[in-house]
Chain A
Amino acid sequence: MSKNGASGTRAHVVGAALPRIDGYAKVTGAAIFADDIALPRMLFGKLLRSPHAHARITSIDYERALRLPGVVAVAVGSDLPVRYGILPSAQDETVFAIDRVRYVGEPIAGVVAEDELTAQYAATLIDVRYDILPSVMSIDEALRDLGADAEKIHPESRKANNVHKDVHLTFGDIEAGFAEAERIFDNEYFFEGNTHAALEEHSAVASFGADGKLTLWSSTQTPHYLHRVAASVLEMPASRIRIIAPPIGGGFGGKTEPVAHELAAAHFARKTGRPVKFTLSREEVFYTHRGRHPVRIHLQTGIKSDGTIAACRLQTWLDGGAYGSYGVATTYYTGALLPVTYKMGAYAFDGCRVYTNKPPCGPKRGHGTTQPRYAFESQLDAIATELGLDAGAYRAAIAVDPYTRTVNHLRVTSCGMREALNAVSERTDYSSKHGKLSSGRGIGLAASAYLCGAGLPIYWNPMPHSGAIVKVDRGGGVTVFCGTSDCGQGSQNMLAVIVAETLGVDVLDVSVCAGDTDLTPVDLGSYSSRVTFMAGNAARSAASDVRERIAAAVGAELGVPADRCIFESGRVFDREDPERSLSFVDAARAAEARFGTLAGVGSYTPPADLHGDFKGSGVGPSPAYSYSACVAEVEVDFETGEVRVERIVLAHDCGRALNPHIVEGQIEGSAYMGMGEALMEESAFRNDLHRIPNLLDYKTPTILDTPRIEAIIIETEELEGPYGAKEAGEGPLNPVIPAIANAVADAIGTRIYATPITPERVLQALDGTSGPLRLRAPIAERAV
């Protein structure tokens, strides 16, 4: 099926390396992002943020701010007291802090004024008094026994100390598995937290109409979830709120949950009757965060003499920051996807997320799977070396097989991991280089898997995950309506390609209307790499729905059975006699005459049998998994400790590439982002403060630091994907970090057990002063 188009013919649009439909607007600056929106009489907002990591608010006096000429309104916690959070189980935030602040940068109050500078100055006039509380700034501190008196960050939490969530899962006979193992590899790793660093700083504009309806434009990856939370926090019916997601200048997971400034904009627009804009500064983006969790990882893997994995025990401790965010899901994700790559006899997973007085962590590209993947692929590399096996061939030998179930009951369908491993090994001549390069040069390999959308929604409901409407105009134009939000990954283009392919029209004849809760059916949003798979299937289904009616009309016109009608190149014709045909425009007119207004609807709900039946089984299942493999080549300067990545070869099984340009772009972006995480990015704190909340000091690689990146697309046939497609947005990132770590280990002959691999860490490793991280007894700090 996947090599063919909609009607049994060869695909014309799917698989073609066409320029993306929104590309020209983006590169010329014509695209209108949220911060580009300017409305008449618009006010500008500014948030007052906490200067303390942990404190009780004893009083707030904003009279002086309110009296400042140009200030129109001020709001504090009690004005918007409804608690919210992206997960139903973690409704722990308010728009402005009430009674207590839990991290430096937490919003306390909002001001709107005639101009931005006035709002900014007014915020400094708000007098807040605090009782300062001790801060908790690390995993170790958060796990420390508080004793009877000390206050937890969230006093209402039922967990011990500052534990937010702990999970314990076992699959198979773990003790028997380890007993069966010939050797047990036991290591501890630390993956440092980091942030998304999307170029576009978050922005929101709200307008409250004379009709009593609120419109909120926001750079959000999840307009539907924002819609729900806005209704709840503003205590307004959802039917009176319209959320619009304009083009987004990068998300990477950083714009996947409602945050204070969006809800503040809405509140002030309603309160003042004037449009309101809030655009965050870069520093505020660092405080809004929801980025990669720092994770301490303890990994034990029992290996049989032939190298197969008899048992694996993984323990993770996540530094969650001050609030829940997606953290419960993140915690499960640190364990859920490890068994999706390699067969293992038994698997035990313990995860523990703690609260600290830092900006909340959440999902970043690879959500929760990136950190344990780094550890696992690092350890596998050591195992292969110990066993004298080629790292690529070893991984291929123990790889999961297509159409099987993992040890934790996840359903695997198409799987191109072996092909990806072979591709990167062959392209780089890995086998003849590893362990054999000159001193200071190294090569490393790693593989991974990722979701094509979370199998379950964030709030439990039996409705579809994605819906689409395809309308056909009597002029031949086609419009697809879908609730997706394009965070730069190309979801607009994806919808156009799928609908164009299904109806046999030019991609430019398709208009996309997305991310508008008034106009488009719900799509859950751009997270968990779900959009191509889920919205793509919904759009294909909607286009097929309307195509059936057009085929029926054309069949009647031409006197041929409807199922013989082929849609291709702007025409609809008889498969048996292609000369008998109508143009698509005439076909649409015939269909409208016969059936009335032409529109099709479609929706997508993942299959129900993707997972096992146990608490926590909802995180990890996906209708399909993508697979990736990466080889990195590095050169290490033994005197300065600098690591120069010379080449990254990254192969990704994306099912079928709907647009190879965009898939390659995602692979290249993943290589770049992974390299930054491997070598330099870190959320660093000192004196309770984010040490470097700016893009000069928070290091992301420049183009001069970026090596040759070779993207290899591995196509598999994913029967449940739209035209056979899977995902490409997140999966390719995961193997890059361990591939670089493994290359550094090859180059310097010793291993660094933490990220980022800074020059200082390299020198410590070379000096022999770092060594493996301290091992802990498993579950010693189990918190109940």
Chain B
Amino acid sequence: MLRLPAFDFQPARSVDHAVALLAAHGNNALPVAGGTDLYANMKLGLFAPQLVIGLRSIAELRTIRFDPQHGLRIGALCSLDAVARDPAVALHYPALARAAAMVGTPEIRNMGTIGGNLCLETRCNYYNQSAEWRKALGYCLKRDGDLCRVAVHSATCKAVNASDTAPVMQAYDARITLVGPLGERNLAVRDFYQNDGARANVKRADEILTEIVLPLQASGMRSTYRKLRLRNAFDFPLVGVAVTLATDAQGACTQARVVLGAVTSAPFEVEAAGSLLRGSHLGEEIAAGAAEEVFKAGKPLENANASLLYRKRMLRVIAQRALEDVSHPLR
């Protein structure tokens, strides 16, 4: 098997301690929570920190609290399994429970954290390869090279955000908290990500993600997450679709968001689909129209385990199925 490179490991006692360690060691240190992403990438030679700062020892970041006035607060170190099984999550944010339960395998969900999944390194099948493989290729824009292998004329890296929970968080209009040496920042998930595969979020190297807050959802809110993958376990999404939708007493749609995962370097909200849905009575025709907007807006590239033509075609199908999920008066 591939071996981890040598590194020092220091568990953090608290958020402040973690931040202090990161500040002290600068670019030579990386934080780790569950390690399901970082350690695999370190084995591939994608990261080589001298110091790895363990966050799992910070007990304060491992709680899930629901407050009927304000919504849900999830500590970043909650395991994906804990999120998937939490009764409040299942009741009020079923799409999040569903997305968390679809990540990887039971082992990965036991180790992997919600914060880690939101900070998931962007993926590309020219990038998630061993050092020897990438050398044979001649490297790429994201690491050690100057050419994007997926889009050769692109100035930015096209690696995709393959997180299952990120599009869901954005669809719920969640906010996250980052803590760094200068204090705390609180920002919307949509502002956390940016569409550049080489720098996929705005978290600074000396910050850690501590908490996610999901606002209270309007009554009558329905939500879902649909994931296309080639196998029923292990696989990252080829296409992910998160939908949140609220209706008034007459059944007219008052709020709607359709957010795609695994298509671009950031979760991608299809505004046109949302505006088509808002004010309408969701039925087959409207759903088909919204799915058409998703199809038109989503532009996958040749960087995953299915061709871009297939993924493009599936955008409409998966969006349609997600909209079917929320068109029934469930949950």
Contacts and interface: CB of A to CB of B under 8 A. Distances in A.
Contact of B2 (A281, A640, A692): A281
Contacts of B318: 640
B234 A281 contact: no
A46 to B, nearest CB: 10
Contacts of B233: 702-705
A641 B125 CA distance: 23
Contacts of A282: 1-2
Interface string A40-61: 0000000001111000000000
Interface hub of A104, A279, A640 (most chain B Cβ within 10 A): A640
Interface residues on B, range: 20 to 34
B84 to A, nearest CB: 16
Secondary structure type dominating chain A contacts: loop
Nearest to A687: B137
A697 interface: yes
B133 A697 contact: no
A689 interface: yes
A691 interface: yes
Interface in B271-322: 305-307, 309-310, 313-314, 317-318
A120 interface: yes
Interface in A264-298: 279, 281-283
Contacts of A697: 125, 305
A136 B135 CA distance: 20
B6 A117 contact: yes
A702 B130 contact: no
Given A696-B234, A702-B231, A104 B1 contact: no
A640 B3 contact: no
B230 A699 contact: yes
A283 B133 contact: yes
Nearest to A51: B136
Given A281-B1, A701-B231, A759 B310 contact: yes
B232 interface: yes
Interface residues on A, range: 35 or more
Given A52-B136, A104-B136, A702-B232, A279 B1 contact: yes
Nearest to B131: A124
B309 to A, nearest CB: 8
Given A281-B2, A697-B125, A763 B310 contact: yes
A51 B314 contact: no
A191 B307 CA distance: 20
Given A697-B305, A763-B310, A689 B234 contact: no
B211 to A, nearest CB: 30
Interface in A106-140: 116-117, 120, 124
Contacts of B136: 50-52, 104, 688-689
Contacts of A52: 136
Nearest to A116: B3
A281 B130 contact: yes
A201 B232 contact: no
B303 to A, nearest CB: 11
Given A117-B3, A281-B1, A704 B232 contact: yes
Contacts of A705: 231-233
A691 B125 contact: yes
A79 interface: no
A124 B5 CA distance: 14
A311 B313 CA distance: 44
Contacts of A51: 132, 135-136
Interface of B: 1-3, 5-6, 125, 129-133, 135-137, 149, 228, 230-235, 305-307, 309-310, 313-314, 317-318
8 contacts: A51-B135, A124-B131, A281-B2, A687-B149, A689-B133, A699-B235, A703-B233, A704-B232
Given A120-B3, A680-B231, A703-B233, 4 more contacts: A117-B3, A680-B230, A699-B305, A705-B233
